[in-house]
Structure 1
């Protein structure tokens, strides 16, 4: 792999702020981002990328490549939790295997945004429909993860009857991040260029400043979570990196079959390789309380997230170039 790509990515200001946040914890600084600012930053980033994606969709329209990409996104969001589950079942019980597999079947919006920043710095274009792929990939993993629990655990008839599928579907499709992202895409489509011109200073001009603040907070949280990994089996540490690379390679292979562009292929690979540390953990805590949150949250946030934004993005881009996309 071209080491200059890794260095180029690491020297990206938002990524450097992520390191600064981690360094603050390691050096026992009292630096912190006061609540509820991190939540506000997260909502802003979702609104901004959703709105931009909707606007770009109005400019490009829907073509066969876009339709195939969106179908591929749904397929990967369902397939990743299934094969991940059977790998994890080699070492874990059904509840933890299902929760972790759902976490890796879903996506990290911030990893996606960091990949967009990487492409922009390289002057490589990508399509707004990839934001729609992002939205489509967040929820299916939650449903698949819960279905895996239902299929592979023996439960009583009464427990099955009491299981609230309405609440599961509500959590999967109407949780705050999914709702805001999809809503922002729709608003971007409906408002078109006039809306884009009005909101451009808000959704674009301050975007990377907010991203830098958010990644600073993520660095703080990730460093705090690393402490919890000391109690984690080495199998899970290896899995958190291996499955990201494997998922990315599967995604890139599918992208080559479909014939999508280089920039879109990277974003698709990153979506396949990332893991959710917000939406899925919230759903798993509610619907699979038997699973240990310190496992799936720590793996996604303290291992997979840093790996992807530091090494993964340039690694996947290099694989894409080797495969001739």
Structure 2
């Protein structure tokens, strides 16, 4: 009963959180036909600022962290991000009416990390006075970047195979050889150029730049006076924008496939439980705090709203944004914030009480 009570209390708190509130506010405004619009240049600036802040936070925390203690949780973050994409590849992408590119982009978005959900979780952990490692914020890029890159690589491999099959059917066995293609198998996809191009994209570049600057320089003064104070305000504006876009994509999402809605409800909870399990392994082996376990689980339960959409638009241009953004923002983010966060905090509190 205590667990259920804690869960319901956390659920109500999350419904009242500004992160979810601004997201829902944007959806309501769009549903009422509001002409409210945020210029694209402002949106790009907000995304850049948020990514720089996340990168600077991670870099500073890594610099000040005990790298031995951080090693196993960071490894689990990488494994979780990649695993989520492969799970999507062999579940969502196999469902009826789900195109491979759309499914992989969706899985990539769910494997990456939501800055808004992440911030909401840290706020609630502090409210509940649940301790967690300061460097746990640095786990963000360890899950985010591998998930996005894995999704882009898998999509590129699939696209390459499809192009080969189309040309083989068009030219025939002999004709395709004359065109410079091998007769038995498509040309091997070179993974590193894809990875390099992904990392050079504007979103991941900003995240990596902040990470390097936080790690190699002393940015505390500009961080505390500029980036950190602006973070929550800019995040609220981003959530408003994402809410309006989510509503616009929601009707289109219904036309794509109903399986996206099912995936968006189930995936955050399932992915978070996987990461919670990994976190508990780190807890017993290295003393990783239960608060840190919650942070890892929430990152896995979230779906990217900052780095993911622009990275996937560039990396998987054939994917339909209505599918992956609609699934993530319209359904996945509310589920992660309202259900997943109180669930994992409740689990951590139950384990603490049990210990």
- Structure 2 length normalisation: TM-score? 0.79
In the alignment, is residue 214 of structure 1 matched against residue 238 of structure 2? yes
User: Which contiguous aligned blocks of 4+ residues in structure 1 show a shift greater than 6 angstroms?
Assistant: none
Identify the match of residue 138 of structure 1 among 144, 150, 164: 144
Among 103, 120, 123, the alignment partner of 1:117 is 123
Tell me how far 1:323 sits from its aligned partner. 4.4
Aligned to 2:276: 252
Q: Which of the residues 74, 80, 91 maps onto 1:76?
A: 80
After TM superposition, give the deviation of residue 219 of structure 1 in Å: 1.8
2:206 to 158, 164, 180: 180
Partner SS, residue 206 of structure 1: helix
> Are 1:48 and 2:61 matched, yes or no?
no
Distance 1:13 1:151 in 2: 40
CA distance in 2, matches of 1:96, 1:59: 39
Superposition deviation, residue 257 in structure 1: 1.0
CA distance in 2, matches of 1:172, 1:262: 33
Q: Call closer, same or farther: CA 1:293–1:163 in 2, change over 3 Å.
A: farther
Q: Which one has the largest radius of gyration?
A: 2
How many residues align structurally? 322
CA contact (8 A) 1:252 1:320 kept: no
| Contact kept? 1:135, 1:178, Cα under 8 Å | no
* Closer, same or farther: CA 165–286 of 1 in aligned 2, 3 Å: farther
Residues 107 and 275 in structure 1, CA contact (< 8 A), matched pair in contact too: yes
In the alignment, which of 214, 219, 223 is matched to residue 199 of structure 1? 223
Distance of 2:222 and 2:317 partners within structure 1: 45
Q: Kindly tell me: are residues 59 and 100 of structure 1, through their superposed partners in 2, closer, same or farther at Cα, counting changes over 3 Å?
A: closer
Deviates more, 1:217-226 or 1:312-321: 312-321
- Aligned-partner SS, 2:86: helix
**1:111/1:308 contact within 8 Å kept:** yes
* Maintained 8 Å contact 1:177/1:279: yes
Task: Give the Cα separation in 1 of the matches to 2:195 and 2:323.
Answer: 24
Q: Which runs of 5+ in 1 are unaligned?
A: none
Match of 1:238 among 262, 274, 282: 262
User: Do residues 297 (structure 1) and 303 (structure 2) align?
Assistant: no
Q: Report how far residue 31 of structure 1 moved.
A: 2.4
